[in-house]
């Protein structure tokens, strides 16, 4: 666990009507609480079913995990685990081809492929033109 979150626990599965004060009241038995973060759903204005409790000491956080994990909170079984660092999901709001790097790379690749294609076509056209000229010469010889 990272050093910065060593004294923070994740409390999951809590009823949506639980308040910060209730969490503090229940979890202060394990040690001095520095803060409680209870995320609220913006639509329902109720908690999102989890909280983070930051203790003053690492030992207090460990005691909360050891004693309250799989415990009951207002009729619901809750999980108390070490908090993990937040990892934002990476997603793009624009298609990949809007990236300048992608365009540059693919334009160069396209330009190269197009140049090769044109050169091959030019060779084929030249060979076909020569064949037509030879046919025309043969035809002229026959006519004489």
**Long-range residue pairs from 67-74, CB within 8 A, at least 24 positions apart, any chain:** 67/30, 68/27, 68/30, 73/13, 73/14, 73/15, 73/18, 73/26, 74/14, 74/15, 74/17, 74/18, 74/22
Sorting pLDDT into bands at 50, 70 and 90, what band is 101?
confident
Tens digit of each residue's pLDDT (9 = 90 or more) over 60-86? 999 999 999 999 988 899 999 999 887
Which pTM was predicted? 0.58
């Amino acid at each position: 666990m990272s050093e910065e979150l060593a004294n923070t626990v994740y409390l999951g599965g809590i009823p949506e009507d639980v308040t910060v004060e209730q969490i503090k009241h229940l979890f202060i038995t394990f040690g001095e609480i520095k803060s409680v973060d209870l995320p609220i759903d913006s639509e329902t204005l109720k908690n999102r079913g989890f909280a983070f409790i930051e203790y003053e000491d690492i030992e207090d956080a460990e005691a909360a995990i050891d004693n309250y994990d799989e415990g009951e909170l207002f009729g619901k079984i809750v999980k108390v685990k070490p908090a993990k660092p937040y990892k934002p999901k990476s997603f793009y709001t624009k298609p990949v081809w809007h990236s300048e790097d992608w365009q540059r790379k693919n334009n160069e690749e396209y330009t190269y492929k197009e140049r090769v294609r044109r050169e091959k076509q030019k060779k084929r056209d030249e060979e076909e033109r020569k064949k037509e000229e030879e046919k025309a010469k043969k035809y002229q010889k026959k006519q004489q």
